Structure formats: C-alpha cells, structure tokens
C-alpha cells in the first residue's frame, strides 16, 4: 500500500509539472514579469531555507535584503554603513559572524546562477558530453582497477619475512627509512610553501637539539639562514619548526602503528595536528577551527558545522564499509574527506597525508610520498573530487603509491628477497628481536 501511495505521489508531481509548463507562444510580457517575480521570490526562499538548515541565522527578510544589494555586500568591497545597519537589524553581537552568514547567502546565490548557466547549455552538447563520458567510463574504471591490483601485487613482493632480517639487512633498511622519511617531510612541507631544500631539511633532522624551539643555537640558526639565503631569521625559524613538527607527527604515527589498534579515533587526528602545528602555532594546534576559512575558490564548511562533520567522518572512518575497501581507495577517500572538511586553521593537508599513510601502513604499505613536483596534479585532483570526480583523486594517490612501491622493489638486489626498505609495523617489531 505504501509503495502504491509513493508511486501515486510521483505521478501527481509529474502531472502538475506538465501543467505548469508554458508554450513559448503564450509568453506575453505580463506573464513573463509574473514568472520572473515568482522566480526571484522562490530563489530567495530556497537560499534562506538551504542556509538556515545548516545554521545560518539570517531571516528571510534579511536574506532578500542581501540579495537585492549584492554590490553593498561584496566581500571585496564591504560598505561599513550598510553592514552596520544590517547588523543592528538582525541583532548580531559580532560583525565578523554576520559577514560569514552574509557570505554563505551570496555563495548560495552564485551556486544557483552557475546551475542556471548549466541548464542553459544546448541539450545537444549535454547529450554529446554524456555519450563520450559513457564510452570512456568502462575503460577508465578497468585501468583504475588494474592500477590498484598492480599496487597490491608489488606491495606483497616488497614484504620481508621476519626470519630474513639480519642485523646488516636491518641497518640497510634503517638507513633507507631515514632517507625516505626526510623526503616525505621535505615534500609534505614544501607542498604547503616551506622553502627549505631537502639538503637543509636533512640537516635540521640530523641535529634536532640545535634547532629545538626552546633552545635555538644562534650560531647554528644564523649559519643555516646564510646557507638557504633567508632574508629574515624569524621566517627561517617558522620553516624549521614546521619540519620538526612533521618529524614529531611521524614519530607519533609510528607509535600508533606499534599499538596495532583497529580504531582511528578523534584523539589520534587531534594529536597528529598538535604535533604538526604545535611548534608554529600552539594556540591553534590540536583544536578544531573557530573561524571561517577559504582555500582558493573553495569555501570551507562553517566553523559551527566542523564538529558534527568530523563526528560523521570518524563514524565512516571506522565503519566496516570503509575498511572493506581496497586500502588505497580507503586511504584516498579518508584524505579527501578530511581535507574537504578542513577542520583546522592550518595544517589540514599535512594531517590528511599523515592519515592516508596511517591507513596504508596499517595494511603494510610503505610510506607514500606526494611529491612537490606533482603539486599541480595533486591540487587539480582535489578540485576534480570537489566537483564530483573522486576517481581522479583515487587514481592520483594510487600512482604515487605505485611509485613508492617501485622504489622499494628497485632496491631489492637480484636473488636477495630482503630489500633495503621495510614497512613500519613489521620493521619495528622485528628490530626488537634482533
């Protein structure tokens, strides 16, 4: 009976939609004006309700006021008098919170305008695009599955049985591990704008006592400043502290792997962030952001939504459905979901890449480096995923994973199945037995 009622409801909607259509010949100027007025009113109601559901506190009246005067509330040209007038009208205690709510409204309007531009495309063009996409999808999907399978095979070949780990082999593994960690830290920091070279990153990590934030040796830091040609010693200290923070985070990640806990908790993510940002911005480290942030053209979720979005994220992260995915898919999705929420003021990319590696390394994959040289492709893959093409991002992560696996396999001598590199979990456990 319920199914019949549902079908009946859908049919009624279809009939009413057909009745609401107007033939072009019937469109007089008066009718068009009425339609246009109704459309504007309906759009305002849509924007008000859609924003209000997510916590925006502007009323329908004030939403209409904002949309009627976009020039007044342009984010690059705020008119103090008008915004103060609106703040008084809606009784906002803080003008910055008001600006966030206003920007959400204008953002939704921009999105609706974009949607309308898509609808105005010629039907033939849309049909052709869909046709091409339909032909491409099976082939691309097949290639993606083949890539994931290659990674799984190469990962299996790179594993070393504990019985093979002699002290000499372990020393080779340890030397390669340090080099790989240094490269990871250099690339992860460099993607975010850190200007230290790999050589100087290695120098900092070799002498943590010299560059300790509480005991920076003036002579050594000045020597490093001259070497990297820094105009300002304070900027150099920030870059150095970012490097040490990433090393602290990697050490913490390693301690998590040794515990072999199945669940990845909120505490783990917050502590990773605490280590990443703690030496640079202690106040914001290990806590969710309380301000609105944007990344390029991407408007991150409102700070009021961050906690609830992260709760949903942790639920998915530890769900059976997520764990059943191929490890690379699981890791890539976790990275993308976290960076999309952008829960922190800074350090989101670095924490997302650490989480990705935590998931992969739990499945005995090696430390995967997203290289600085691939930064443009990396950001483009994230943009594509934001637009709905998540397969592009998974493919990018799979390619970077395969590159790390190829590095390991190339280090294995002919006839020697020990290799020069080893995954974190097995390596550390085995080391204790040697």
Strand partners, 299: 294
Residue 342 a catalytic site member: yes
> Which one is predicted more confidently, 369 or 210?
369
Is there a contact between 169 and 418 (Cβ–Cβ < 8 Å)? yes
Catalytic pick among 273, 335, 342, 371? 342
The count of residues in the chain is 434
pLDDT for the residue numbered 95? 67
Name beta bridge partners: 298: 295
Q: Which of 158, 185, 141 is nearest to 276 (CA)?
A: 185
H or E element: which one contains 293?
none
Within the chain, which residue ranges are assigned CATH 1.10.3290.10?
164-433
> What Rg do the C-alpha atoms of the chain give, in angstroms?
27
Specify binding-site residues for ATP.
346-353, 378-379, 386
C-alpha torsion sign, points 246, 359, 174, 192: negative
Residue 355 and residue 344 in contact, taking contact as beta carbons nearer than 8 Å? no
Confidence of residue 165 (pLDDT cuts 50, 70, 90): low
Name the helix (H) or strand (E) containing 295.
strand 294-295
- Which pLDDT band holds residue 206 (cuts at 50, 70, 90)? confident
226 or 257: which carries more pLDDT confidence?
Answer: 257
Contacts of 259 (CB under 8 A, 6+ apart): none
Q: What is the per-residue pLDDT across 330-353, written as a single tens digit (0 to 9) for each?
A: 999 999 999 999 999 999 999 999
Q: What is the 3-state secondary structure (H, E, C) of 171-222?
A: HHHHHHHHHHHHHHHHHHHHHCCCCCCHHHHHHHHHCCCCCCCCCCCHHHHH
* Ramachandran assignment for 189, one of left (phi > 0), alpha (psi -120 to 50 degrees), beta (any other): alpha
Helices marked H in 54-92: 60-68, 80-90
Tell me the mean pLDDT in the region 90-103: 70
CA 328/CA 318 separation, integer angstroms: 15
For residue 237, the model assigns a pLDDT of 82
Q: Residue 373: is its pLDDT beyond 60?
A: yes
Higher-confidence residue: 388 or 407? 388
State the Cα–Cα distance between residues 209 and 300, nearest whole angstrom. 38
Q: What is the mean pLDDT of the chain?
A: 78
Rounded mean pLDDT, 239-243: 91
Span 8-17, pLDDT tens digits: 777 777 666 6
**Position 431 confidence tier, pLDDT thresholds 50, 70, 90:** very low
Name the band, by pLDDT with cuts 50, 70 and 90, for residue 388: confident
Choice between 99 and 43, residue whose per-residue pLDDT is larger: 43
pLDDT > 90? residue 323: yes
Q: Tell me the pLDDT band of 52, cut-offs 50, 70 and 90.
A: confident
What's the pLDDT at 107? 84
Among 120-124, 201-205, 243-247, 425-429, name the most confident range.
243-247
pLDDT for the residue numbered 361: 92
Q: Is 213 exposed, middle or buried (0-12, 13-18, 19+ CB in 10 A)?
A: middle
| Residue numbering of the annotated binding site | 346-353, 378-379, 386
For the cut 70, the answer to whether the pLDDT of residue 163 exceeds it is no
Q: Which residues, at least 6 apart from 10, have a Cβ–Cβ distance to it below 8 Å? A: none
Q: Which pLDDT score is estimated for 105?
A: 82
Kindly tell me if the per-residue pLDDT of 79 is higher than 70: no
Strand partners, 295: 298
Closest by CA to 98, choosing from 73, 77, 67, is 73
pLDDT digits (tens, 9 = 90+) for 139-149: 567 778 888 88
Q: What is the pLDDT of residues 262-319, one digit of tens each?
A: 899 999 999 999 999 999 999 999 999 999 888 877 888 989 999 999 999 999 999 9
Helices 424-433 and 348-362: angle between axes, nearest 10 degrees: 60
Write down the pLDDT at residue 433.
33
Start-to-end CA distance of the chain, whole Å, equals 70
Residue 160 pLDDT > 60:
no
CA–CA dist 218, 225 (Å, integer):
10
Give CATH superfamily name and number for 164-433.
Answer: Fido-like domain (1.10.3290.10)
Q: What is the pLDDT of residue 281?
A: 93
- The percent of residues in the chain predicted with pLDDT above 90, rounded, is 34
Please state, in angstroms and rounded to a whole number, the distance separating the CA atoms of residues 418 and 412. Answer: 7
Rounded Cα gap, residues 186 and 198, in angstroms: 6
- Give residue for tokens 């783990």: 268
**pLDDT band at residue 322 using 50, 70 and 90 as cut-offs:** very high
Q: What is the pLDDT of residue 152?
A: 81
């Amino acid at each position: 009976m319920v199914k019949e009622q549902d079908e009946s409801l859908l049919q009624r909607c279809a009939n009413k939609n057909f009745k609401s259509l107007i033939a072009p010949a019937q469109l007089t100027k008066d009718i068009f004006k009425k339609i246009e007025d109704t459309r504007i009113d309906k759009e305002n109601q849509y924007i008000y309700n859609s924003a209000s559901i997510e916590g925006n506190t502007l009323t329908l009246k004030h939403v209409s006021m904002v949309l009627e005067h976009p020039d007044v509330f342009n984010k690059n040209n705020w008119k103090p008098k008008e915004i103060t007038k609106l703040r008084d009208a809606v009784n906002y205690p803080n003008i910055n919170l008001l600006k966030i709510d206003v920007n959400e409204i204008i953002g939704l309007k921009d999105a609706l305008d974009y949607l309308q531009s898509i609808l105005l495309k010629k039907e033939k063009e849309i049909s052709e695009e869909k046709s091409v996409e339909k032909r491409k999808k099976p082939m691309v999907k097949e290639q993606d599955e083949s890539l994931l399978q290659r990674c799984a095979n190469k990962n299996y070949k790179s594993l070393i049985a504990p019985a093979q780990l002699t002290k000499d082999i372990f020393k080779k593994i340890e030397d390669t591990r340090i080099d790989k960690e240094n490269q990871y830290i250099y690339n992860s920091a460099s993607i975010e704008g850190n200007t230290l070279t790999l050589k100087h990153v290695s120098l900092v990590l070799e002498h943590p006592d010299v560059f300790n934030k509480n005991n920076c040796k003036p002579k050594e830091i000045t020597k490093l400043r001259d070497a990297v040609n820094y105009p300002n010693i304070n900027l150099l200290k920030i870059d150095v502290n970012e490097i040490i923070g990433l090393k602290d985070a990697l050490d913490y990640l390693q301690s998590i792997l040794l515990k072999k806990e199945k669940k990845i908790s909120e505490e783990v993510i917050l502590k990773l962030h605490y280590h990443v940002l703690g030496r640079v911005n202690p106040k914001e480290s290990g806590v969710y952001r309380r301000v609105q942030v944007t990344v390029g053209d991407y408007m991150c979720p409102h700070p009021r939504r961050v906690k609830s979005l992260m709760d949903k994220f942790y639920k998915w992260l530890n769900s059976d459905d997520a764990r059943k995915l191929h490890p690379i898919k699981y890791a890539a999705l976790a990275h993308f979901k976290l960076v999309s929420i952008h829960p922190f003021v800074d350090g989101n990319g670095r924490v997302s890449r650490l989480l990705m590696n935590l998931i992969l390394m739990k499945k005995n994959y090696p430390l995967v480096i997203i290289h600085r040289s691939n930064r443009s492709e990396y950001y483009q893959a994230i943009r594509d995923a934001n637009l709905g093409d998540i397969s592009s991002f998974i493919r990018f992560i799979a390619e970077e994973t395969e590159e790390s696996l190829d590095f390991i396999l190339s280090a294995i001598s002919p006839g020697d199945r020990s290799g020069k590199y080893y995954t974190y979990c097995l390596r550390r456990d085995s080391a204790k037995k040697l």
